[in-house]
Amino acid sequence: MDIKEIKGIIDLMRKNGLTEFEYEKDGTKIRIRRGPDGEPQVVTTGSGLIPAPTVLPVSAGVPLAVPTSTAPISPTAPATPTLPTINSPMVGTFYSSPAPDAPAYVEVGTVVNAETVVCIIEAMKVMNEIKAEMTGTIIEILAENGKPVEFGKPLFRIKPV
């Protein structure tokens, strides 16, 4: 796999809202993951797809850091503990409350369950109520009221109970 193919995969990930891609062939493994800031991160192992540390320009102008460590990727060794997020199931406009003058559905510290409505996403003039789909405490609101969101964009960070 060469740099041009990696760039193509990153472009497809952006267009389709994918957050992670993994490919393995003949002992070579590549994993491309969008970080919390949306920046792609490429990790390679095996026969060494890329001979030296490289920074690649991505079509959107975001630099792509390519580590060339040959250490195996271990799915059981978390780099940093991360909490789950409630992600947008669609493209649309994020609203934190049912009306401009109404209180927000949830705030930091609100305890939610799977059926708790946490926000509305307006898509094609339809107001879609988004439920938490898990039990826990909202610890961070990641989307801004009245701003557009993409499919898969984290809206809330939640601490599971």
Q: Averaged over 153-161, what is the pLDDT?
A: 93
Q: What pLDDT score was predicted for residue 155?
A: 95
Whether 29 is covered by a domain: the verdict is yes
Q: What pLDDT score was predicted for residue 29?
A: 75
Q: What pLDDT score was predicted for residue 52?
A: 36
Confidence of residue 1 (pLDDT cuts 50, 70, 90): low
Listing DSSP states for 84-150 in one string gives: -EEE-SSSEEEESSSSTTSPPS--TT-EE-TT-EEEEEEETTEEEEEE--S-EEEEEE-S-TT-EE-
User: Is 54 in the same domain as 92?
Assistant: no
Q: Who's near 88: CB < 8 A, 6+ residues apart?
A: 94, 121, 130, 143, 149, 150, 151, 152, 153, 154, 155
Confidence of residue 42 (pLDDT cuts 50, 70, 90): low
Note down the domain range covering 8.
3-66
Q: Averaged over 50-70, what is the pLDDT?
A: 42
Using one digit for the tens of pLDDT, what is the confidence trace for 94-129?
999 999 999 999 999 999 999 999 999 999 889 999
Using one digit for the tens of pLDDT, what is the confidence trace for 8-17?
777 777 777 7
User: Is 99 in the same domain as 149?
Assistant: yes
User: Is 30 in the same domain as 61?
Assistant: yes
Whether 144 is covered by a domain: the verdict is yes
Three-state DSSP state, 27: coil
> What's the total number of domains in the chain?
2
57 pLDDT above the threshold of 60: no
Per-chain mean pLDDT for the chain: 77
Q: Which of 37, 66, 95 is the last residue of a domain?
A: 66
